[in-house]
Structure 1
Amino acid sequence: MTGAARRVRASGGQFLLLGVLVLVAVLLVTGIPRVADRLVQQGLREYVAGRPVAERDLTRSTAEAPAEQNQGPISAARGRDLDAFEAAMPPPVRAAVESRWYVAETAFGRLTGPDLAAKNLFVVSRLRVMPGVAETATLVEGRWPAEATGPGRPVEVALAADTARKVNLRAGSRLGWAEEQGGTPLSLLVVGVFEPTRPADGIWGGLPPVLRVTEPAGDGQPYEMVAVTGDAGLDAVAATGGSVRFSWRYRLGGDGMDVADVRGVIDGLRRLVRESPPGLSVTQAVDVPLQQFLDAVSAARTLLAVIAAGVLATLGGLIGLAARLAARRRETEFALLVARGGAPASGALRSLAESLLVVPPAAALGWLFGRLLPGSGGGVVWLALATAALATLALPLATLGVSAVSAVPGGRRDLVTARPGGRRLTVELLVVVLAVLAVVLLRRRGLTPGSVDPLLISVPVLLAVAAAVLALRLYPWPLRLLSRVAARLRGSVTFLGAARASRSAATAPVVVVVVAIATAAFCAVVATGIEAGRDRTATLAVPASALVDGERLAPDTGAALRALPGVRRATPVVRDTALRIAHPRGADAGLAAVTVLLVDGPGLAEAARDAGLTVSVPSQLRGGPAQGPAPALVSPALAADLARKGLDGSALVSVQGRGYLFRVAGTADGFPLVPSATDRFVVLPWQALPAQVPTGPVPTAFLVSGDGFDVAALRQAGDEGQRRYQTNGTVVAGERPRGAEVTTWRGARDSLGGGGANGLLFFGFAAGAGGGAVLGLLAIAFAVLAGARARGQVLSRLRTLGLSRRQWRALLLVELTPLVAVALFTGAVTGALLPLLLTPVLGLAAFTGGTPVRVAFSPGLVGAVLVVGAVALALAVTVETLNNRRLRLGEVLRLGEES
C-alpha cells in the first residue's frame, strides 16, 4: 500500500478527478432523498395551510333538539367531551389536530326590545357558548357575561361591535328572546360589546357567523345574528325546554402531520365518519385534498426517480471515463509490468490498491456531506455502499480493458470506421432490443402507484444508450461524405479536421453525453408540458380575466361590472346542473341528468381574446337566432344516448323553468366552464335562442375581461346583483343566496402551480436540466482529453510545417463539431421523445388539475441545444489549449518520445 500511495501522489490529478466524481455520486445518492423528504414535508405544511378552513375541519355535532330535563348544567358537561372525542381519534388524526373548539348554541329566537323597535328591525338570534372567546377578543364596552345567574335575572349576552352597531344595540340594552317555534320567552341583557383580536382565528369560523349580521334576503325576512353568552345562559334556555345543539370542531394542520402518516390520517378520518355513534354526526372534507396531495407526491417522486436515474447513470459513465483515462495514461507502465514477468492481472491489482486509497474515503466524505443536507432520513444506505463498491472497481476494470486492447498486435483505437467485432455487435444489438422490450412492457403493464419502479427508471437510460449506439453506427456515413467534399476544397484545415473526425472513436464519451443531454431535454420538455397543461386547466375554469359566479344575478349586473375601472367586457353565463332531457312535447326521455351551459358564443370568444387567452369556440355556437331547435354542443356520452333515443335532431331541456329545444350540432370532450369531471353536458348558444317574453334566462355568472380591476369591487357588484334579483318584486325570495365568488385566471393558474408537490417538482426539473447539461459538458471535456496525446503529436508536427494557432483551433473545431453535434442532437431528440413514451404512465395529470399533459415540440429546446453546443465547443478548445500548454509540445517532436 506504500507503493500505491506513492503512485496516487504521482498521478494526483487523475485520482483527484476520480475521487470528486465518486464524492458527487454518493452525495446525490445520500442527499437527494433527504432534500426530497424535506421538500415534501414543507409542501404538506403549505398545502394544508393553504386549503380553505372548511376543508381542514373535522366536526362532531348533535342535532338541534330540546335538552333532557333535570340533568343539571349541560353546557360545561358537554364541553368536557372535547377531550374525550380527541382521545378516541385514531393516533394519526389525533397527532394532526392543530386547534379545537367547543360550541353550544340554541335555536334561532325572535328578539324584541325598545332599541330594535326604534329602528323597526326584525331580528332573530342564536345564543352561543364559546369557551375561550375572552382570550381572542377585546372588550370595547361593558364586560363579559357572568358564568352564573340567579332566578329571575336576565340572561347576559355580549355582541360583536359590528353586529351591535347594525342592529342598534349597546351595553345595557334589554331584550326579549323567544324561539321562533313558540318557546318560553326569556329576558336578555347586553352586558358587553367586543372586537376580535384576530378576525381570522378559527374560533370565529362557525355558522352563522358571530362577527357580522346576515342581512335579509328580501322583504319580510329577518336579520340573523349570534349573541355570545355563558354556560348559565345556555342552561337557562335548556331549563325552559328550548332546543340546543352542541358541536366539537377540530382543525387539522400540517405541522403535526408527517408525510408517512398522511395515508393513516385519510383512513382514520373515513373510519370516524363511518363509525360515528347514534345521535352524533361527523363531517369532514380533509380526506379528498389529502388524497390529491398523495397522488401529486407519488407522481413527483416517480418523476424525480426517472430524473435521478439519468443523472446517476451519467455520473457512473463519467466515473468510468475518468478511470479509463487514468488507465490509458499508464498503459506503458502496465505493459512493462507484463513484459517483466508480471501476471496479466498485475496492473489491475495495482489499480485496485490505488482505488482503495481514493474511492472509499471520497465516498465516505460524500455520504457525510449528504447527511449534512437539510432534510430527514438519509437515503438507502445499501445504495450508497453499492455506488462506492462499483466506483472502487471502475479503475481495475478499466485497467484490464486497456491491457487487453494494448495486447492486440497492430490494433488501432482511433478508427471509428473499422469493422466492429462480433462481440461488440452482439452487445449493441442486445442493448437496442432490451430498450424496445422495456418500452413495450412498460406501456402494457403500466406503473405501480406509490413505488419507485425499477423498470420505469431504467427505460430512459436504456433508450438513451440505444440511441447513442445507433447514432454511432450511422456516424461514419456522413463523415465519409464530408471527407470527400473536404478533399476537393483548397486549404488543409477542413481536410485534416474531417480526416481526424473520421478516425475519432469516442464511443464511451458520446454515450455519456447522449444520456446527460437526454435527461436535460426530458426535464425541459416535461416541465413545458406541465406548464401548458396548467394554462389549459386555468382557461377551462376561467376563460377570461375573471369569473363572477353566484346563484342568480340581475341582468343589469353586466352593465354594473363594465362600469368598474379596468373592466372592458362582461359576458353573461347560465350554468345549471342535474337537469333532465325531455322529448320535444315534454315527456321525460329517461336519460341521466345533465349539466347545461348557456353562453354567448361570440361573447365568449371576444372575452377570451381580450384576456389574451386561447379559447376555441366551435362555429356551431357562433351563429345567430336559430329557426327551430338551437344548435348545441354536447358530450360524446350524451350524444350517443340521444342518438339511441332518436332525439339527436330535436330534444328539450328546461333551464330556470323554461324549456329550450336543441339539436346535436357537434360533440366535444370538454368545454370552458364545464367541470372536467362532467361527462354529460349540453352547451347552448345564448344568442341563438328564441327571444323570451317577458324575460330571458337569468345569468348565474359573468365572464369579465380587462386588467387592473379590483377583485373586491367585482365581488361587491356580484352581491348587489344577487340582491337586486331577489328584491325586484318579480320573484319570491327563497333561502339566502351565497355570496358572489370571484375567481381570476391568474388566481386559478397560481393555485395549480402552488400544490404541495410543486417544490419537489421544481427541484427535480432544475437538478435534471442543470445537472444533465453540466455533466454533458464534462463528458465532452473527457472526450477531448482522451485524444489529447495524439493531437499533441500531430500539432507539434503541423506547427513545424507552418500551421498557425488560429488554424489549429479551427482544425480542432472541425474535428470535434461532428462528434458534438451528433451527441447533442441524439440526446435532445431522445429526451424530447421520452415524454411521448412515458407520459401515459407518469401520472402527470396530478400536477395540472386532471388535464392530460400534452407533450409538444418546443422551439426553445432547439435554442438550448445550440447554446449548449456552442459552450461545448468553446470548452473543448479551452481544455485543449490548457492541455497543450501543460504538455510542452516542443518536446514531443523527438522521434519516439511522448509526453
Structure 2
Amino acid sequence: MRTWLLARVHLGPLAVLFALTLSACLLVAGLPRATESAYDQALQRALTGAPGVQTDLTVTVGSWSPALDLRERAQFDTRDRLWHEILPAGLRPLVTGPGHASAKTTLTPIAGTGGSSYLNVGWLSDADRRVEWVRGRAPGASSTMRYEGETIPVFEAGIVDEAEREMGLGIGKTTVIGEHDYAAVKIVGIFRAKQPDDRYWSHHNDLVHVLKQQPPGSLDFEKHATALLSDAGLAVLSGEGRNLAYRWTLPLDPRGATALAVPGLLDDVAEFGRVVDVQSNGPVSPYRLETGLPNLLTGFQAELSTAQTVMSLVLGGLLAVALGVIVLALQLLADRLDHTLSLARARGGSLAQVARTAAGLTAVAVVPGAVAGYALSYLVPGPVLPIVHAGPVFVVLVAVGFAAARLALAHRTPLHERREDVATARPSARRITLEVLIVVLAVAGAYLLRARGLSASAGQDPFLLVVPVALTVAAALVTLRCYPYPLRLIVRLAARGRAAVPFLGLTRAARARAAAVLPVLILLPALAVSVFAAVVTDGIAGTQRLASWQQTGAPIKVTSEIEIPAETIDKIRAVPGVEQVVLAQRGQVQVGYGAERAEALAVDVAQWRSILADAPVSVPPLSEGVLVSPELRGRGTLDLGWQSRLKLPTRGVVESVPGFFTKGKFLIVPIGVQLRPAVNTLLIKGDADVAELAALAPSATVISQEGALAAIQEDPLTSTVRTTLAIVTAALAGYALLAVVLTLIVGAADRARAVSFLRTLGLSDRQAQRLTVLEIMPMIIVTALAGLCLGLALPAALGPGVDLSSYAGDLPVGDYSPDPVLPSALAAGLAVVAVLGAYVHTAISRRRSLGAVLRVGDLT
C-alpha cells in the first residue's frame, strides 16, 4: 500500500498526531531540563548564601612544640600546593581560586583578668589584600621585654576599633598574655576589613569582631579578641605553651556546582578528608579536614529528593496523559483506515502489510513531531539529561507500536464483521479477579505508605512512585466497572417518561463499546494529577503565608541591639502608611537567683493582638502576669531579674511566639511591669516603605511580612516546584479538553448514522443536540468526579511520604483543604467543550444528506 497516498487522504488526523507528538515531546524533554536547571540554581544559591566557613575546605593542624612550628611563608605555600594536588577530581572545578593560610592562637587569657578577657594573636597570608590600616601603622618585627624575671617576646600587632573599644586596648599599649608561658602584644595600629561582607571573613570573625561567650553557670560574659601579626611576628610565634593552629583554606566557588553532582561531591569530600588524614606533620600531629559542606549538601539533597518526587509524580502523570491523547488520536486514524485495510485484507493483503502500513503512516506524523519537539526543547536552558533523549524516542515507539498492534489485531482475519447490536462482552472471571487484586493492592499500598513513611535509604523511594500509579489504575478500573450501573438505573427511570430523547441518549451512554474506555483512562489521570497539583500548590501557598507571619510576627517589625530613641519612634509613626506602632522590649532575663536564663519579650499584648487581627497567627490575651514556654510551665509565680526584680504569676503557656521564639525557654510579660522600658523592638501595622523605615533607624533591622513571604516564594526550589505544578496543571487541562474533542470526533461517524436514522423518524435538530449531549456527558461527569476525588485523596494518601516543609518556610504542609475554583473550572470547561462539540456535530450532521450516511437496505 502507498503510504504517502494514504497520508494525503488522511491529512487531518496526521496533522493532529503531529501537533500532539510535538507538544508531548517538548514537555517531556523541556520540563526536566528546566527543573534540573532550577535545581542547579537552588544549590548554587544555597552554597553562596552559606558562610564561607561552612562551604570552604579547611585543612588544619595544631602545633605545641618548636619542632612542629611553621615560621616562614614558604612552608605554608608548600603545603597549600600539596592540598591542591591531592584534591579529588570532582572538587577541582569548584576550587578554582587561590587559597589562603592562617596561624592563630586560641584561649590566650590576658594576664591579671582572671580569665574574663582573652587576647589571641593571628597571621593571615593575604592580610595585605584583605585589610587597610586606618590609624597607626602596620605591625613590624617583634622585640623582647622582661616580665617577672623572664625575657618574653613582644609581638607588634593591630586590632579593629571594636576591640579597642570593648577590650580597653589602644595604640601604644602593651598587654601581657598567657598563664605561664607569657608573651606581650603591643598594639601599633587599627585596621578594618576592605570588604567586610566578603565570605572570607567568616573564617576570621575573631579578627574583625570581639566575641562574647557566657561560660556555663556564670552570669558574666568572656570577651575574646584576636590581634593581627605581620610575617616578622609569625617568625617568632611558637605553639609551645599555647594553643596554636595552622589552617589552609581552599575556597569553594558555588557557581560550578550542579545538583546531579551532589552525591559525587559528598564522596569526594569524604575522600579528601581521608587523604588529608594520612598526611603527617610528625608522629603526633595529624592533619584534619574541617568543613560544613557535607551537612549543606545532605540538607539540600533531602530538599531535592522531595522536589524530585513531586516532579516525578506530576511529570509521569503528564506523560501518561499525553500518550493517552496520542493513542486516542491514533484511534481516530484507525477508524478512518478501517475500510481501506479491510479491502486490502480481502484482496489478499498480509497481516504484516497491515502492520507496516499502520506503523509507516503513523511514523509520517509522529517522527517529525518528535524531532520538532526535541529540537524546541533545546531552547529551554538547563543540562541535557537522559530523559531529554529517551522521552521523545519513547513517545514515538509507543505511538508507532500501538498503531501497528491495534490495526493488526483489528484485521487479523479478512472481512471481519462486528455485531452492531452487542454493547459489551461479559468480562471473564480471571479478568475480574485481576482487577480486584489491583484495587486491593493499591489501597494496601496507600495504607502502608502512611504507616511506614519513606524508606531510610538514599534517593527516591520507589514505593512512593508506585502507589500513586496503582491508585490511579484502581480508580480507573472502579470507574469503568461501576459507572454503567447507575446509568442503567437512570435509563429505567427515563423509559417511564414520554420523551424519547433522554431514554435514547442515556441508553447509548450506558451501552457504550470498549472504545469508551480510552477517554476514561485519559480524563481520570489528567483531572487527578491536575487537582493534586492544584491542591499541593494551594497547600504550599497557605503554609508559606503562615511561615512569613511566624517569622515576622507583625506586618512590619523593627529590631535593634540597642535602645531605639523616642524621637526615632516618633519619626517612624509619622511615616506614610504607618497605622499603628506597638512598643516592645526583647532581652534575656534571670530566672530565680541562679544561672538559669530565659529569653523575654515585654509588650502590650492587647495592642499586639489588634494588629494581628487578620493574620493567621496570634498570641493569647495577657493583662497581667506572664506567659511561659512549655519548658517553664508548672512553676507558679516566677521571680525574674530584668532591670529590677519581678515576681509575676504564670497565666498561660505558649508553644511559640510569632516573630520571636519557637523553642527553648522564653516568656512574655506586659511592658508596663518595667520601670522604664528600653524599647528595642517595634511592631508596626501598615504598608509603609521598608527602606524609608530602615533609613530612619540605621542601627536596626527592618523586615516585613510581605518581604519574608517573597523571600520564601523566590527560593529557586520553591519557585520551581510551584511553576512546574502550574505548567503541568495547565497542560493536563488542555489535554483533558483535547480528549473530549477527540472522543466526539472518534464516535462522530457512528453518532451521525444513529442521528440520521432518527431523523427519518422525525427527530428535530434541537432533539439531536440533546441526544448527543446526553450520550457523552455521563462519561465526562462520572470521570470528572472520580478524577476529582482521586486528586483530593492523593495528598492525604502520600502525606508522610512528601515532606514539603522545605518550600514553605520549614513549616510542615498539612492543610490540603480543597479549593473549589480549579476543579469547578475544569469540570465546567469539559462540560462546555462537550456541549459545544454536540452542537458542532449536530450542525455538521444536519448539512449531510441522508443518502450520504445511510446505505441501501438500512431502512428496510
Give your verdict on TM over 0.5: yes
Change (3 A) 1:266 1:747: farther
Change (3 A) 1:159 1:672: closer
The residue number in structure 2 matching 1:613 is 615
Instruction: Give the Cα separation in 2 of the matches to 1:291 and 1:440.
Output: 29
Instruction: Give the Cα separation in 2 of the matches to 1:212 and 1:101.
Output: 20
Contact 1:543 1:607 in 2 (8 A): no
Alignment map for 1:89-238 (pairs within 5 Å) = 89-97=87-95, 99=97, 100-103=99-102, 176-181=172-177, 188=188, 196=194, 200-202=197-199, 207=204, 231-232=231-232, 235=235
- 3-state SS of the aligned residue for 2:255? coil
Contact 1:320 1:398 in 2 (8 A): no
Instruction: Give the Cα separation in 2 of the matches to 1:433 and 1:389.
Output: 32
Change (3 A) 1:356 1:263: closer
Change (3 A) 1:134 1:546: same
The residue number in structure 2 matching 1:523 is 533
CA-CA distance at 1:376 after TM superposition: 2.6
Task: Output the amino acid matched with 1:857.
Answer: P
Change (3 A) 1:841 1:243: closer
- Of residues 310, 314, 323, the one that matches 1:316 is 323
- 3-state SS of the aligned residue for 2:817? coil
Instruction: Give the Cα separation in 1 of the matches to 2:100 and 2:24.
Output: 51
- 3-state SS of the aligned residue for 1:179? strand
- 3-state SS of the aligned residue for 1:512? helix
The residue number in structure 1 matching 2:669 is 686
Change (3 A) 1:84 1:561: farther
Contact 1:607 1:704 in 2 (8 A): no
Task: Output the amino acid matched with 2:582.
Answer: A
Contact 1:208 1:225 in 2 (8 A): no
The residue number in structure 2 matching 1:895 is 855
Contact 1:64 1:107 in 2 (8 A): no
The residue number in structure 1 matching 2:829 is 868
Task: Output the amino acid matched with 1:859.
Answer: P
Change (3 A) 1:623 1:435: same
Structure 1 residue 602 corresponds to structure 2 residue 598:
no
Structure 1 residue 753 corresponds to structure 2 residue 713:
yes
How many residue pairs are counted as aligned between the two chains?
A: 811
Structure 1 residue 832 corresponds to structure 2 residue 830:
no
- 3-state SS of the aligned residue for 2:582? strand
The residue number in structure 1 matching 2:819 is 858
The residue number in structure 2 matching 1:258 is 258
Task: Output the amino acid matched with 1:299.
Answer: T
- 3-state SS of the aligned residue for 1:312? helix
Instruction: Give the Cα separation in 1 of the matches to 2:834 and 2:398.
Output: 31
CA-CA distance at 1:302 after TM superposition: 0.9
Cα deviation, 1:294-340, whole Å, max 9, x if unaligned, reads: 11111111111111221121123223322322223333344445555
The residue number in structure 2 matching 1:735 is none
- 3-state SS of the aligned residue for 2:544? helix
Q: After the TM superposition, which of the residue ranges 78-87 and 133-142 deviates more from structure 2?
A: 133-142
Instruction: Give the Cα separation in 2 of the matches to 1:128 and 1:68.
Output: 17
Task: Output the amino acid matched with 2:721.
Answer: L
Task: Output the amino acid matched with 1:74.
Answer: E
Change (3 A) 1:454 1:329: farther
Cα deviation, 1:213-250, whole Å, max 9, x if unaligned, reads: 999xxxxx9999999885346658889x9998755444
Instruction: Give the Cα separation in 2 of the matches to 1:827 and 1:793.
Output: 32
Structure 1 residue 672 corresponds to structure 2 residue 658:
yes
CA-CA distance at 1:369 after TM superposition: 5.5
Task: Output the amino acid matched with 2:609.
Answer: E
The residue number in structure 1 matching 2:39 is 40
Instruction: Give the Cα separation in 2 of the matches to 1:716 and 1:166.
Output: 26
Instruction: Give the Cα separation in 1 of the matches to 2:289 and 2:566.
Output: 41
Contact 1:558 1:702 in 2 (8 A): no
Instruction: Give the Cα separation in 2 of the matches to 1:78 and 1:779.
Output: 70
Q: After the TM superposition, which of the residue ranges 37-46 and 596-605 deviates more from structure 2?
A: 596-605
The residue number in structure 2 matching 1:707 is 687
Instruction: Give the Cα separation in 1 of the matches to 2:342 and 2:68.
Output: 105
- Of residues 297, 306, 316, the one that matches 1:299 is 306
- Of residues 832, 847, 853, the one that matches 2:807 is 847
CA-CA distance at 1:853 after TM superposition: 1.1
Contact 1:575 1:598 in 2 (8 A): yes
Q: After the TM superposition, which of the residue ranges 403-412 and 24-33 deviates more from structure 2?
A: 403-412
Cα deviation, 1:821-853, whole Å, max 9, x if unaligned, reads: 333232222112111101211222332344221
Instruction: Give the Cα separation in 2 of the matches to 1:189 and 1:453.
Output: 60
- 3-state SS of the aligned residue for 1:96? coil
CA-CA distance at 1:284 after TM superposition: 3.9
- 3-state SS of the aligned residue for 2:580? strand
Contact 2:210 2:225 in 1 (8 A): yes
CA-CA distance at 1:543 after TM superposition: 2.0
CA-CA distance at 1:789 after TM superposition: 0.8
Cα deviation, 1:751-788, whole Å, max 9, x if unaligned, reads: 43344523541343133212211111111112101211
CA-CA distance at 1:858 after TM superposition: 1.4
Change (3 A) 1:8 1:441: farther
Contact 1:37 1:375 in 2 (8 A): yes
Change (3 A) 1:150 1:56: same
Instruction: Give the Cα separation in 1 of the matches to 2:621 and 2:162.
Output: 50
- Of residues 379, 388, 396, the one that matches 2:404 is 396
Task: Output the amino acid matched with 1:178.
Answer: T
Change (3 A) 1:604 1:526: farther
The residue number in structure 2 matching 1:762 is 722
Q: After the TM superposition, which of the residue ranges 359-368 and 511-520 deviates more from structure 2?
A: 359-368
- 3-state SS of the aligned residue for 1:570? strand
The residue number in structure 2 matching 1:512 is 522
Contact 2:524 2:787 in 1 (8 A): yes
CA-CA distance at 1:40 after TM superposition: 1.6
Task: Output the amino acid matched with 1:256.
Answer: G
Structure 1 residue 536 corresponds to structure 2 residue 546:
yes
5+ residue gaps, structure 1, are 110-123, 168-173, 216-220, 640-647, 720-739
Structure 1 residue 780 corresponds to structure 2 residue 740:
yes
Q: After the TM superposition, which of the residue ranges 425-434 and 851-860 deviates more from structure 2?
A: 425-434
Q: After the TM superposition, which of the residue ranges 698-707 and 743-752 deviates more from structure 2?
A: 698-707
The residue number in structure 1 matching 2:385 is 378
The residue number in structure 1 matching 2:6 is 7
Task: Output the amino acid matched with 1:773.
Answer: A
Change (3 A) 1:146 1:401: same
Task: Output the amino acid matched with 2:605.
Answer: P
Change (3 A) 1:223 1:867: same
Instruction: Give the Cα separation in 2 of the matches to 1:11 and 1:149.
Output: 94
Contact 1:34 1:379 in 2 (8 A): no
CA-CA distance at 1:515 after TM superposition: 0.9
Instruction: Give the Cα separation in 1 of the matches to 2:394 and 2:580.
Output: 64
Contact 1:319 1:394 in 2 (8 A): no
- 3-state SS of the aligned residue for 1:856? coil
**RMSD between aligned residues:** 5.7
The residue number in structure 1 matching 2:111 is none
- 3-state SS of the aligned residue for 1:252? coil
Alignment map for 1:377-776 (pairs within 5 Å) = 377-380=384-387, 387-400=395-408, 402-403=410-411, 407=416, 410-412=419-421, 415=423, 425-426=432-433, 428-448=435-455, 450-476=458-484, 479=487, 498=506, 500-505=508-513, 506-548=516-558, 561=569, 564-565=572-573, 566=578, 568-572=580-584, 574=586, 602-603=605-606, 606=609, 609=612, 612-617=614-619, 621-625=620-624, 632=628, 634=630, 648=634, 650=636, 672=658, 678=663, 684-687=667-670, 703-710=683-690, 742-776=702-736
CA-CA distance at 1:365 after TM superposition: 6.0
The residue number in structure 1 matching 2:217 is none
Contact 2:532 2:794 in 1 (8 A): yes
Cα deviation, 1:30-84, whole Å, max 9, x if unaligned, reads: 554444332222222223223345544445567899x959989635543554444
Cα deviation, 1:318-368, whole Å, max 9, x if unaligned, reads: 233223222233333444455556678875565356456665666566556
